């Protein structure tokens, strides 16, 4: 449900993966978003580039960036987001994307060892 103060995740463009707050609804296709603490400048963005979350920040229409950032921090949205399944999945994907060659090798070896142990346990039964 699109409304003023709704927290959204940008799913396309240079701000992809960042959380923002809907400050105003421009028309049926676009919203004015803002969140300076996440590095998202105040701008218009189409709804098809936003994924709405269940979080809501208590702000009024066309609040200043400072007031939006304060309300975002007061509601502790970032920690709540990191505890959701979507937030954890994004963190895992980011972690896997930043692995070094040796860390990827370790993941492969551990996966093989776990698979071998599982096969051996199934053979016993």
Q: In the chain, what are the domain boundaries?
A: 6-83
pLDDT tens per residue, range 35-83:
767 777 889 999 999 999 999 999 999 888 888 989 999 999 999 999 9
Do 11 and 51 touch, CB atoms closer than 8 A?
A: yes
Integer Rg of the chain from CA: 20
In angstroms, rounded to a whole number, what is the distance separating the alpha carbons of residues 72 and 59?
9
Q: Return the pLDDT at 15.
A: 86
Nearest-10 Cα torsion for 22, 28, 29, 32: -30
Q: Which option is the CATH number for 6-83: 2.30.30.30, 1.10.3720.10, 3.30.110.30, 2.30.110.10?
A: 2.30.30.30
């Amino acid at each position: 449900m699109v409304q003023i103060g709704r927290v959204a995740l940008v799913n396309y463009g240079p701000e992809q993966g960042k959380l923002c707050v809907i400050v105003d609804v421009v028309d049926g296709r676009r919203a004015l978003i803002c969140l300076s603490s996440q590095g998202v400048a105040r701008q218009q963005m189409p709804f098809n580039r936003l994924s709405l979350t269940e979080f809501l920040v208590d702000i009024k229409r066309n609040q200043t960036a400072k007031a939006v950032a304060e309300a975002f921090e007061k509601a502790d949205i970032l920690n709540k987001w990191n505890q959701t399944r979507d937030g954890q999945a994004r963190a895992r994907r980011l972690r896997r994307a930043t692995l070094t060659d040796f860390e990827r090798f370790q993941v492969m070896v551990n996966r093989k060892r776990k698979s071998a142990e599982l096969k051996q346990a199934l053979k016993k039964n």
